[in-house]
Structure 1
Amino acid sequence: MSEADLIERIADTLEKRAALSYRLWTIEMIATYLNRNADVVRQRIVSLPTFPKAIRLPAGDGRVGKPQWKAQEVIEWVESHKEGAGTRRG
């Protein structure tokens, strides 16, 4: 692999990570990421006090939309549960 190819791969990786930090995930997307059933995620995971807080965007007429979570925050929460990662937060 040439130096230019390596630089391009690094740039692509950084770009993807930056995009992920702005992405919002639904329950179904979190379930896919966690390899769990959406009902399990809804009932047992997102309700944990240490799980990132949901974002509810306005849906109009005074209503709010379904909860969504910042993808990067969910990933960081998951990573905090690695074996040997020190303190686990829930």
Structure 2
Amino acid sequence: MASTIDTGIQTPTQQQTDEQAFGRFMQRIDSLIDGLAKPRLRPDDELDQLAERIAARLSPHALWDLPEVAKYLHRSEQHTRQWIVTLEGFPKPLRIPSGKVTGPCRARPMWRSKDVIGWAEDQVET
């Protein structure tokens, strides 16, 4: 029976095959790492973050832009812009300057959340 002796010398074909195999191996490792579950926050941390976000949105000092007002009122932004914020009695917006030195200073309208909530609660049918 003939035996082969490993001389440690690779032919160009063997070297290329090894490099390809190693490349495929590394791609597989990368895909496995990408597929691992991302670390999740503890449930208490998630609840704390959610509570902070809710509190920030409902704080009497919170300012809402048009999309937030529309979302709160369950209306589209277009409907809110065209029909709701133009109603007599709807809270007047605050217009805080952008602080830009050059160009027109177009401050976008913002409403106090407490004013919008109060207005909405006053819309009870009798």
Mark yes or no: TM-score above 0.5: yes
Name the count of aligned residue pairs.
69
Q: CA RMSD in A?
A: 2.0
Large movers: runs of 4+ above 6 Å: none
Match of 2:107 in 1: 65
Q: Does 1:25 align with 2:67?
A: no
Q: How does the TM-score come out when normalised to structure 1?
A: 0.68
SS at match of 2:94: coil
Q: Does 1:35 align with 2:74?
A: yes
Percent of matched pairs sharing the same residue: 35
Q: Does 1:44 align with 2:86?
A: no
- When Rg is computed on C-alpha atoms for both structures, the one with the higher figure is 2
Unpaired segments ≥5 residues, structure 2: 1-50
C-alpha distance in structure 2 between counterparts of 1:35 and 1:48, whole Å:
16
C-alpha distance in structure 1 between counterparts of 2:67 and 2:73, whole Å:
10
Higher relative contact order (CA 8 A, sep 6+): 1
